[in-house]
A and B are shown apart, each in its own frame.
Chain A
């Protein structure tokens, strides 16, 4: 088991390194850097000025070297401008003494994520605040979505072809066909718009950042949950119908087990193996939903931060955001692998 975990973690690290390298490369392409220089100094600077600004701020080095610095495995750059020292690990300008005493490495490994150029604050701080907010949202989504989807799926799948099955299946298909930006708009139009007059709920979740109420949090949670729910419910239903036609269910039935017990004792565990993996692999998609919903409802969580970072080419923030999201995806894959092993006795790791 430990060996299995070690191998998985190693694979995860390699993937994360590759992905951050790609993100680093894409965000540090010369047009992006040029745009950054112009946003710092004004749009009307000459190419020479751009070049000298980039040089001064350490952007002129080869991409791989700077990636190493960002990671914290290569020493950060320093620069001596006639006694005034600047550098990756030095805040602003400093004299020789401070510069010498500053640490040589400052990157992700050391816990230094750099500074956000949009929010003018430490990236670590921005991201962790955003993550906390998104965490709350995701928790609510999970609490609504997973039990809901499983119940719908199991109910639909236990008697294939019944009216209940058909009604629930139609409902699931409908929600999977409704992306968040459609369902969000429709829900807001129905429940929050002044034009219709229902006005039961809030069309914005900004106030939920401090104080969660039913009025300001229902719509965002529902919007994300609905889309994922249909998908998971369909998977559960497919898995359930397959299990219900399995030979061992017939065995159980012909042993005299009642229908309720056939479903609860014999079918359920086997039927949940497949959806469990699906739920875990659903995380990358949920992230998508989070970005859309946070933008739509103006909830300043992780997704909103991602959009801000990406649209303003905030390199350091964007890198941190991608690292976090990649890890979320990879960890959910890891959990799904481990959980699969526990749910399915046929696979045992010695």
Chain B
């Protein structure tokens, strides 16, 4: 049995190497990974997708599947070696001593088993208690994770819960046996920002309450900053830097860590003064890793003959005994050197109004019961009186979480759906009720879209060139195939892809490259308005910057109006001129970027700003956690859409919030807020984000 009074490190990983074996070759997934977690400590594991961070977690759990094998090193849990432990002994530890929380809450709960039973199972196996006692314990833990109506929760099936509630259940399940170590593998990636903030808060509190050590895996530096004490940065299967959060965030000693921080938009970042710097090149595939330093080919400080000479061990950074880096040159590099910005490109002033929305409404009728059909029809108000205008070469960001109606709005604008009421004016010509098949070719070519999912945006069975040429054909550009081919190659140049990509299939391209092709396709007909629906949210951090920059550059050159749909406020602040915040089909706030990001806020904007994790130690945030989940658009609350979660509700006299939809209040020039709050309340608002003076 594992010693309960053990007080050494909870988890000690030493030079761990894990490989996956396919029929053709051995693919190393993790190499020479070391780490230590002390009791009550939280270690963050950060890296881009494919860097092996999840494999480390599975290695700790000894659950690598049929093909995965630990090929070297050791993993000690409370001093006991896990790699040689017998299956029975392992089973004893799993769930009781080490518990794990996964990315997809829906997938990690058994769909055909009631939640109570799934929870009760854990102590029944490990502590051998009766079902009744176990259910009692489950009830307590569910109350602990702040779920409403625990009795009902225990009696429901997973699909009856919302995503946020499911993740709380998964957390509860992990805590059922009060484990010593909790492994969280991207626990909030599938959740909305405001829900994520609440879940992170919960995890932090419970970690303290139960005294659990944590291994927190994430690609989001901001999240790690908020939750962890120590950090371990991984790149392509190796830990490249590790140390305490403050050390690594403020005094990083590895070029990759530095490049990572430079490629994410921070509140202080300005698109002109400190533009994002993308990491050049691509993430190496596991079987194509370079000799020596894995980051070498993409590194600014690369020195041929030295960095690519052979294995590079972790080196101690002096001054702090637990800060290490896998870089040969870290003592030679001037870490304080200013960023080389290059030439500052001035953005042209916004031109005349190109697109105008006037009281646009989109309602859907849906059958109340989809399975039976017929019956009562329900009206879903996807978009409610949307009015705004967008000018030439202006970036308008549309911000909101799931169900806020941003995708519906895009569909109406594109003509895939027609508006229920109101108008869309393109160059003063009404197109709101013209479906796409009746629009003129030039109208269609004028408004184009860049899609969210890079793996879905290109037809997998057509070459890249062919797809762009088809767009040219349909927009009737170019006299013959040769002319169109020429134009297609120019478009590839525009998005900075080699011309050879014309004959490649989409599966041969990386996510960022696919997204570039998607952009090239959107600009095939010289689009004047481009709707970018979360174009970078599915990409890795380092690639995000490059694609964002590309979009902005093309916009500058072509004077495009960019409608940038996103939930990521950091990137919105970085690139947009004006911001429109949406909640459940309503525009709750609209104004210039500076206006929206500074008080007075709409209460929702305020909460949203507070929820976004920021990877900057000099930033202090006001702490606002929203209660509950986003209401369903099928069943919106009465009155103000946000009243169910609003922390300012008590400031409004009477039950105005619950009965009346607020009017747009004009705060300043072109800044509107849809709220019942009075002027003095708005005046009393404090900024959510403050940056400490350096």
Contact = CB atoms under 8 A, between A and B. Distances in A.
B102 to A, nearest CB: 6
B111 A346 contact: yes
A202 B110 CA distance: 49
Contact of B95 (A254, A344, A345, A350): A254
B55 to A, nearest CB: 14
Given A247-B104, A251-B102, A345-B159, A350 B369 contact: yes
Nearest to B369: A350
B377 interface: no
Nearest to B91: A256
B109 A256 contact: no
A348 to B, nearest CB: 9
Contacts, number: 80
Nearest to A159: B66
Interface string A324-350: 000000000000000000011111011
Would you call the interface of chain B mostly helix, strand, loop, or mixed? loop
A253 B63 contact: yes
A247 B102 CA distance: 9
B121 A255 contact: yes
A268 to B, nearest CB: 9
A106 B371 CA distance: 39
Contacts of A254: 61, 63, 94-95, 99-100
Interface in A231-268: 246-248, 250-258, 265-266
Contacts of A250: 63, 102, 108
Contacts of B109: 248, 251
Interface string B82-118: 0000000001111110011010100111111100000
A132 interface: no
Contact of A256 (B94, B104, B112, B170): B94
Interface string A1-36: 001100100000000000000000000000000000
Would you call the interface of chain A mostly helix, strand, loop, or mixed? helix
Interface in A263-288: 265-266, 269-270, 273
B157 interface: yes
B125 interface: yes
B110 A266 contact: yes
Nearest to A273: B112
A3 B376 CA distance: 14
Contact of B107 (A7, A247, A256): A247
B100 A270 contact: no
Contacts of A350: 369
A256 B111 contact: no
A280 to B, nearest CB: 19
A254 B63 CA distance: 8
B173 A255 contact: yes
Interface in B144-183: 157, 159, 170, 173
B122 interface: yes
A35 B170 CA distance: 72
B126 interface: yes
A270 B110 contact: yes
Contacts of B173: 251, 255
B372 interface: yes
A173 B392 CA distance: 64
A83 interface: no
Given A252-B110, A256-B125, 8 more contacts: A7-B372, A251-B102, A252-B121, A255-B99, A270-B110, A344-B112, A345-B157, A349-B372
Interface of A: 3-4, 7, 161, 246-248, 250-258, 265-266, 269-270, 273, 343-347, 349-350
Interface of B: 61, 63, 66, 91-96, 99-100, 102, 104, 107-113, 121-122, 125-126, 157, 159, 170, 173, 369, 371-372
The 3 closest A-B pairs by CB, nearest first: A256-B95, A247-B107, A255-B95
25 contacts: A4-B371, A247-B108, A248-B107, A248-B108, A248-B109, A250-B63, A251-B100, A251-B170, A251-B173, A252-B110, A254-B95, A255-B173, A256-B94, A256-B96, A256-B125, A257-B95, A265-B113, A265-B121, A266-B110, A270-B110, A270-B112, A344-B111, A345-B112, A345-B159, A347-B371
